[in-house]
Amino acid sequence: MAQQPNHQPAHQPITPALRSWIVEQASAAQAPEAIVQAMVASGWDEDVALIALESTLREHLAERSAEHSAERARVVELPPAVAVPEPLPAGMRAAVWAHDREVSVLVALADPRVIVFGNLLSGDECDALIALASARLERSETVQTDTGASEVNESRTSQGMFFDRGEHEVCARIEARMAALMQWPLENGEGLQVLRYGPGAEYKPHYDYFDPAQPGTPVILRRGGQRVASLVCYLNTPAGGGETVFPDVNLAVAPVRGNAVFFSYDRPHPMTRSLHGGAPVLDGEKWVATKWFREGRFE
Ligand code: PD2
Ligand code: ZN
């Protein structure tokens, strides 16, 4: 027995020190009789020592079981992981052939999964998307997961619009390229969204998946399920600022015309570390086209 309790008169309340000592002895697989004997040797009445031992161990087990339940709840509440697009299933390489174009791979990060691509879009494609989108720009809207409706969001000071999938030949060509690069069905992609950020405009850090806790989310998920990956394509090179940032890993991706940043999230949970934002544009303007990939068909 490592340590014995101080001499205790019978009927004395169980002190925290005695409680710790009893738990320590029981955890070290000391027989209850041996624990009681040690307490008797320290001046405890045998019956009182037995009652003290019993009540201490009962309380201790109840606490342990409460801790285990809380831990189980934390684990069970985590949404299950799902399959996500993986553009480099065979590992890192300098370039990938995607449908009709060689795309370079500039940077790859494993956790969070982030890949920076070069030369995904041609200069002409960037210009065509900007020209087609310009006519339809409005103040950007974000899907409101509390209602399922779209509305202007103050954390996003850009202007934007959505193309339907395949709405123009250039959209269809880019979408086929992206589907090949992602190795993900074209039908699982939303239409391209084009955003224009003026001087000072930014997109505060957020997650692109739909928050499961929001009441409007089940309605949104009926069309294609969750978002599982994003591909933000830069349509111009701003004169200053406008980098895409990942605050959880202190990563900043410079916006360069034709380049794109990909990131995936296998569950709608911050543990994916997919928090990201668009830093303020410091000089000039910034144009991006974002493609979101769903778990299932987005029809
Ligand atoms: O424009 C960006 O850098 C940016 C940043 C964060 C775009 C998006 N999110 C998005 O379109 O979701
Ligand atoms: Zn985003």
* pLDDT for the residue 11: 55
Element (H, E) at 162: strand 159-162
Range with lowest mean pLDDT among 82-86, 157-161, 205-209, 239-243 = 157-161
Report the distance separating Cα 67 and Cα 151, nearest Å.
42
Atom of ligand 1 nearest to the CA of 261: 3
**Which residue type is seen at 167?**
E
Report the pLDDT value the prediction gives residue 31, as an integer from 0 to 100. Answer: 87
- Ligand closest to Cα of 231 equals 1
Both tokens of residue 204?
Answer: 């505060």
Count the Cβ atoms, other than its own, within 10 Å of residue 164.
Answer: 10
Find how far residue 146's CA is from the centre of its chain: 19
Three-class secondary structure of residue 105 per DSSP:
strand
Please name which of 209, 212, 210, 202 lies closest in space to residue 277, comparing C-alpha atoms: 202
User: 276 alpha carbon to ligand 2 midpoint, in Å?
Assistant: 6
Phi-psi sector, 247: left (phi>0), alpha (psi -120 to 50), beta:
alpha
Q: Is 277 helix (H, G, I), strand (E, B) or coil?
A: strand
| Residue 139: predicted pLDDT | 55
Beta bridge mates, 196: 159, 287
Banded model confidence at residue 1, pLDDT cuts 50, 70, 90:
very low
C-beta of 277 in contact with ligand 1 (< 6 A): yes
Residue nearest to atom 11 of ligand 1 (CA): 290
Q: Is 276 in the pocket of ligand 1 (CB under 6 A)?
A: yes
95-294, CATH topology level: Jelly Rolls (2.60.120)
In the chain, where does the domain assigned CATH 2.60.120.620 lie?
95-294
pTM of the model: 0.74
For the chain, give the number of residues.
Answer: 299
Query: What residue type is 25 in one-letter code?
Result: Q
The verdict on the CB of residue 278 being under 6 Å from ligand 1 is yes
Q: Is residue 152 pLDDT above 50, yes or no?
A: no
Across the range 50-71, mean pLDDT stands at 78
Closest CA to 235 of 156, 137, 154: 137
Read off the amino acid at residue 27: S
Structure tokens, 97 = 């052939």
More confident residue, 222 or 144: 222
150 SS3 class:
strand
* Summary mean pLDDT of the chain: 89
Q: Dihedrals φ, ψ of 109, to 5°?
A: -120, 140
Helix or strand holding residue 103 (H, E): strand 101-109
> Across-strand partners of 151?
142
The confidence score (pLDDT) of residue 124 equals 98
Kindly state if the Cβ of 232 falls inside 6 Å of ligand 1. Answer: yes
What's the whole-number mean pLDDT along residues 90-101? 98
pLDDT at 27: 87
**Closest protein CA for atom 6 of ligand 1:** 277
Q: Which residue among 257, 288, 292 is best mutated to probe the pocket of ligand 1, counting the most ligand atoms within 8 A of its Cβ? A: 288
Report the nearest atom of ligand 1 relative to the CA of 255. 3
What is the rounded average pLDDT of the residues 10-18?
A: 73
**How much is the average pLDDT of 166-177?**
98
Ligand 2 geometric centre to CA of 206 (Å): 6
